[in-house]
């Protein structure tokens, strides 16, 4: 239904997508016209509630819908409490964030949760309230406004697969209200849950085995794919979808520009399937995309889909019918750490070939580390060509990166270790995994030199990829592992807290001291960022490919746009190496500004080289 009394701008936006939206909604919800009419009215309510300032922001973004593409974006991810205590604290640190070159700020979940049952903020008990210790909705709106004035976009997680068992809906379901039990997956006994268990994989088989939990208050079984206190929502119920879309738009009206759709592949369940990546998921995301286009067209949807890039494509949708604007590139991240452990770039090159073969319209969010663990979703079929067996290989890379392998300077900890299956994930800060922690503990100068060089090389690799680079707060100064979580009874069973430590502001004060680890990393990353922003060949629509270096320790990447060419060479070995390339043009080393031949290029241990050539008359001053 389109009401003629609605504002002309709203009617025009809704009319542009109305037929498709109604058709998809009807297909999903069996022609429930009453629910769809409610959906349209709800969109209008949030359009009307949107502030004049945010509508102006929408208009500016609509003039440049590709604002998030290009070579000028840099993201930073943080936990608000760890970074600055609360939202007002972050507001006071905006100058520091801007100094880091950041124009995309991702704050980890802020919404209300229950202490001890929060899963790092991903068990939401109220989608309209900020955790009291972090601030208020008004604080979020004010911070977003301050960010916008500094040209910083704000990203926030939208946990849409489940709620906390302490959410109002869950409380009423526990009390026996059928309307609210229908918002989840409740069963009178274990018959149907046991059928689901035959085909649905377990998310956390060691810390939270199974996909269902007995709810004593309701006397029924409820679906809980992640943790027992996280109840899966039933998106086959249109009331759930309508209300969850409203919760998303509420966040947008608080000034959030990028909505990170958490665990999006899980949101539709169907008996007899693995309840992952089902077609209905794409229908839901497409409708949400259209809803944002109608209410807040300056908004982006970022999908958290942990799959290899070649299988991510459906979540982008199509050019005519887009779904997510951006997706996480988790596979490249874990393949990179595999390469740090093995010193062998063949799998990483294979991975980059896959990414570079995808359409340029696909924008990935690239990162070295994030709030989560490193799960080894590697291409083990490819590794089998080199005699590498999955269980043994995972054990090796975990042993190496936790420092249990002879000669390794990495310092990490295992997460969800399952000795029965020979499987585990890994946690640790970028600096500690690169060996900086071990070098400083041993007071070994040459080890620290090499570890810092590795850290900067990985950041150079991050900036060389196609997509939006994002750094984890503290990485800009080489923050080390925080082992204090072992003494906290609410955290000690979750090793992910090892890299979620509080920001060390005393270390941050050293960021301009070139004689310190903090200064070397901060200034080094700033130099990389400045170069990245100076050359259009780092744009997302540039041509990109891998190079034959004839050395399994050295990854080579080429980039080209508008007559400018880059050869990027990354040495993952702890020894000096040679990239056996033989290019005829004259090149300049972007890091030194000195001329350099692209023939048999020597690269120091754990180092990199960016070689630049311009085919344009007069070239470009480096």
| 618: CB partners within 8 A, 6+ apart | none
Query: 460-517, pLDDT tens digit by residue?
Result: 999 999 999 999 999 999 999 999 999 999 899 899 999 999 999 999 999 999 999 9
Query: 318-330, pLDDT tens digit by residue?
Result: 889 999 999 999 9
Task: Please tell me the distance from the alpha carbon of residue 423 to that of residue 420, in angstroms, as a whole number.
Answer: 8
Quick one: pLDDT at residue 619?
Answer: 64
Quick one: pLDDT at residue 117?
Answer: 87
pLDDT above 90 coverage of the chain, percent: 90
User: Which whole-number Å values give the CA distances from 288 to 39, 130, 157, in the listed order?
Assistant: 11, 23, 15
Which residues, listed in sequence order, are joined to residue 365 by a DSSP beta bridge? 328, 468
* pLDDT > 90? residue 551: yes
Contact 576, 527 (CB under 8 A): no
User: Residue 161 carries which DSSP code?
Assistant: S
Query: Is 475 buried (19+), middle (13-18) or exposed (0-12) by CB count in 10 A?
Result: buried
Query: 77-90, pLDDT tens digit by residue?
Result: 999 999 999 999 99
Q: Mean pLDDT across the chain, nearest whole number? A: 95
Domains of the chain: 1-161+237-328 (3.20.20.80), 162-232 (3.90.400.10), 353-503 (3.20.20.80), 537-614 (2.60.40.1180)
Element at 561 (helix H, strand E): strand 554-561
Nearest to 322 by CA among 280, 288, 279, 272: 288
Please state the separation of Cα 174 from the chain's center in Å: 34
Task: Give the β-pairing of 300-303 and 413-418.
Answer: unpaired
- Mean of pLDDT values over 272-278: 95
Task: Give the β-pairing of 162-164 and 230-232.
Answer: antiparallel
Place of tokens 């880059």: 566
Residues marked as catalytic: 262, 304
Task: Give the β-pairing of 363-367 and 468-472.
Answer: parallel
Task: Please tell me the distance from the alpha carbon of residue 85 to that of residue 79, in angstroms, as a whole number.
Answer: 9
- Mean of pLDDT values over 206-227: 94
Query: 248-266, pLDDT tens digit by residue?
Result: 999 999 999 999 999 999 9
Quick one: pLDDT at residue 156?
Answer: 97
* pLDDT > 90? residue 1: no
What values do phi and psi take at 401, rounded to 5? -80, -15
Quick one: pLDDT at residue 599?
Answer: 97
């Amino acid at each position: 239904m389109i009401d003629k009394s609605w504002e002309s701008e709203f009617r025009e936006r809704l009319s542009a997508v109305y037929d498709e939206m109604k058709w998809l909604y009807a297909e999903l919800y069996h022609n429930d016209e009453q629910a769809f009419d409610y959906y349209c009215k709800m969109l209008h309510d949030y359009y009307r509630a949107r502030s004049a300032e945010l509508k102006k922001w929408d208009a500016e973004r609509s003039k440049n819908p590709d604002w998030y593409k290009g070579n000028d974006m840099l993201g930073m991810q943080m936990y608000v409490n760890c970074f600055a205590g609360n939202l007002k604290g972050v507001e006071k640190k905006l100058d520091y964030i801007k100094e880091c070159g950041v124009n995309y700020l991702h704050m980890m979940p802020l919404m209300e949760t229950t202490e001890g049952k929060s899963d790092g903020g991903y068990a939401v008990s109220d989608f309209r309230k900020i955790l009291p210790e972090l601030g208020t909705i008004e604080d979020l709106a004010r911070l977003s406004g301050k960010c916008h004035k500094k040209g910083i976009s704000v990203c926030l997680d939208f946990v849409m697969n489940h709620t906390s068992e302490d959410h109002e809906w869950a409380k009423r379901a526990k009390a026996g209200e059928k309307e609210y039990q229908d918002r989840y997956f409740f069963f009178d006994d274990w018959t149907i849950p046991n059928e689901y268990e035959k085909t649905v994989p377990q998310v956390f088989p060691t810390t939270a085995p199974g996909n269902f939990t007995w709810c004593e208050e309701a006397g029924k079984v409820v679906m809980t794919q992640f943790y027992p206190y996280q109840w899966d929502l039933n998106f086959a119920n249109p009331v759930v979808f309508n209300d969850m879309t409203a919760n998303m738009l509420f966040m947008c009206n608080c000034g959030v520009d990028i909505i990170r759709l958490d665990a999006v592949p899980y949101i539709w369940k169907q008996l007899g399937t693995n309840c992952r990546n089902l077609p209905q998921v794409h229908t839901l995301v497409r409708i949400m995309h259209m809803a944002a286009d109608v209410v807040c067209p300056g908004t982006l949807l970022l999908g958290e889909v942990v799959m290899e890039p070649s299988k991510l494509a459906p979540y982008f949708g199509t050019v005519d019918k887009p779904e997510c604007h951006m997706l996480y590139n988790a596979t490249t991240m874990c393949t990179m750490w595999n390469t740090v452990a093995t010193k062998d770039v063949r799998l990483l090159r294979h991975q980059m070939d896959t990414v570079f073969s995808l359409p340029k319209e696909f924008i990935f969010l690239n990162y070295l580390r994030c709030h989560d663990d490193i799960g080894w979703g590697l291409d083990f079929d490819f590794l089998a060509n080199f005699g590498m067996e999955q269980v043994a290989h995972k054990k090796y890379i975990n042993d190496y990166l936790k420092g249990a392998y002879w000669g390794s300077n990495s310092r990490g900890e295992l997460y969800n270790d399952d000795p029965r299956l020979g499987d585990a994930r890994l946690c640790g800060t970028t600096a500690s995994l690169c060996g900086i922690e071990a070098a400083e503990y041993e007071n070994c100068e040459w080890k620290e030199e090499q570890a810092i060089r590795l850290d900067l090389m990985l950041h150079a690799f991050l900036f060389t990829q196609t997509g939006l680079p994002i750094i984890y707060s503290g990485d800009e100064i080489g923050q080390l592992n925080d082992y204090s979580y072992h003494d906290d009874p609410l955290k000690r069973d979750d090793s992910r807290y090892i890299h979620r430590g509080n920001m060390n502001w005393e270390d941050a004060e050293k960021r301009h001291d070139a004689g310190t680890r903090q200064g070397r990393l901060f200034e080094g990353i700033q130099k990389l960022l400045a170069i990245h922003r100076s050359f259009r060949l780092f744009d997302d629509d540039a041509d990109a490919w891998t190079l034959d270096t004839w050395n399994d320790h050295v990854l080579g990447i080429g980039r080209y746009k508008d007559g400018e060419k880059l050869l990027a060479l990354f040495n993952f070995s702890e020894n000096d190496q040679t990239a056996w390339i033989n290019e005829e043009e004259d090149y300049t080393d972007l890091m030194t500004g000195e001329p350099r031949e692209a023939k048999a290029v020597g690269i120091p241990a754990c180092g990199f080289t960016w070689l630049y050539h311009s085919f344009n008359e007069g070239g470009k001053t480096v």
